[in-house]
Structure 1
């Protein structure tokens, strides 16, 4: 499973790869947890209840993340660092493809 953690501007990448990473490692369900911080698209890789998960991170230029938040909003890309843009792009492209496919169930 590829997942994306979206945070407001005051949560920095260093927080994600230190504090949040340490919290994840303390969870009984989490095994094989490792941070790949210097990758082209930085990621935390882990198994959660034996399910492999790649967890990406993006800190947005927003004071808070609204409930009706949408990754398709191009304004989200403004003032983002390249790593956050790359983290967002995977989800954005997948969402766009699903919008263009006539029969999503057949596609999956």
Structure 2
């Protein structure tokens, strides 16, 4: 079995095709048919060297930040009983997200303080 450096075709023998695949470190099933072995041969000689494919760097997804409001901006957004709770529970001069404002109201309600 002589090693071949020329790309074999379907006209070559199974032994010649296997020798080419072995010489180029191409893995194949030893019981593969001639047609199956021919499909393993790369189209061009440059494709014989296998270089590791690098995964693309994932693009960081920007985190959506909630807007911050002052006590008075929040009071302008709401009405009713919640307005009164925000008026009492929120501190002047501090900014809150809406979620933080609700947490402040809960903390005030369960603190036992009336005002």
Report the TM-score, using the length of structure 2 for normalisation. Answer: 0.22
Tell me: higher relative CO, structure 1 or 2? Use CA pairs within 8 A at least 6 residues apart.
1
Report the TM-score, using the length of structure 1 for normalisation. Answer: 0.23
Name the structure where strand makes up a greater proportion of residues. Answer: 1
Mark the structure with the bigger radius of gyration. 2
Name the structure where helix makes up a greater proportion of residues. Answer: 2
